[in-house]
Amino acid sequence: MSDHSAKRYSGTVRVLLNMMKTAFFISLAASLFAGTATAQNFVSVSQTEAVIMGFDKASVGLTSEGFASAQTVTVFRETMEADGARLDYAVAREIFDCTNRKSRTASIAAYRIGGTYPTLTMDDPRPWQTYEPAMVNAAMALAVCDKSAADSVGSRTAEDFALRARAIFHGQ
């Protein structure tokens, strides 16, 4: 191989390596934001007389420092009214400190079943709260932090989860 051919070959290899690095970093970035790009898979975590709570397994993000985040959904047995808005279910972005047993709500959007837009939103993160084993949010934290939730209930959207929860409340 001539000196000129070797330089052209090494230049081509360098371009290919740069393209491979770029593709790698694009795929890495996409995987970090996979919770927003993957199909939703809602699971039920807890139920009381008034609410059924669940979360989207596909939205769970865990860190090596013991923090987790997930999209959660709370379905109310009956339509609620809060701050003048009527709502059937609320979708929240929750952050869990799995090591220190604390959680906080980063944002909430409340909806009516069949509605397109939220009837109520909250974008100001709430303060950290310690959860005790008997508290409802403890079941959610355990399921998210340990990924120990039951299998999917077949809901691909928060509204579908809400419809299924309402059917459970009304014995259907």
**In the block, residue with structure tokens 């906080």:** 104
Q: Are 71 and 62 in contact (CB under 8 A)?
A: no
- The domain spans of the chain are 3-32, 36-169
Could you give the percent of the chain with pLDDT greater than 90?
40
Determine the pLDDT at residue 91. 95
Q: Which CATH superfamily is domain 36-169 in?
A: Surface-adhesin protein E (2.40.128.710)
Q: Residue 21: is its pLDDT beyond 90?
A: no
**C-alpha to C-alpha distance for 129 and 141, rounded to whole angstroms:** 12
Average pLDDT over residues 16-45: 49
Average pLDDT over residues 144-166: 80
**Tokens in use for 167?**
């059917």
End-to-end CA distance of the chain: 77
Q: Are 152 and 41 in contact (CB under 8 A)?
A: yes
Q: Residue 11: is its pLDDT beyond 80?
A: no
Average pLDDT over residues 93-105: 93
Determine the pLDDT at residue 142. 87
**C-alpha to C-alpha distance for 164 and 56, rounded to whole angstroms:** 15
